[in-house]
Chain A
Amino acid sequence: GQQVMQIPQYQHVQEGEDFTTYCNSSTTLSNIQWYKQRPGGHPVFLIQLVKSGEVKKQKRLTFQFGEAKKNSSLHITATQTTDVGTYFCAGLLLGGNTGKLIFGQGTTLQVKP
Chain B
Amino acid sequence: DTEVTQTPKHLVMGMTNKKSLKCEQHMGHRAMYWYKQKAKKPPELMFVYSYEKLSINESVPSRFSPECPNSSLLNLHLHALQPEDSALYLCAVKRAGTEPGELFFGEGSRLTVL
Contact B50 A96 (CB under 8 A): yes
Q: How many residues of B contact A (CB 8 A)?
A: 26
Contact B42 A105 (CB under 8 A): yes
| Shortest distance from the beta carbon of A87 to any chain B beta carbon, whole Å | 11
Contact B90 A101 (CB under 8 A): no
| Shortest distance from the beta carbon of A47 to any chain B beta carbon, whole Å | 9
Residue of B whose beta carbon sits closest to that of A32: B100
A56 in contact (CB, < 8 A): no
| Shortest distance from the beta carbon of B109 to any chain A beta carbon, whole Å | 11
| Shortest distance from the beta carbon of B59 to any chain A beta carbon, whole Å | 11
Contact A97 B107 (CB under 8 A): no
B45 in contact (CB, < 8 A): yes
A22 in contact (CB, < 8 A): no
CA distance A48 to B107 in the complex (A): 21
Residue of B whose beta carbon sits closest to that of A50: B100
| Residue from the set B98, B104, B108 with the largest chain A CB neighbour count within 10 Å | B98
CA distance A90 to B94 in the complex (A): 14
| Residue from the set B50, B90, B100, B107 with the largest chain A CB neighbour count within 10 Å | B100
Q: Could you tell me which B residues sit within 8 Å of A by CB distance?
A: 2, 31, 40-45, 48, 50, 55-56, 90, 94, 96-98, 100-108
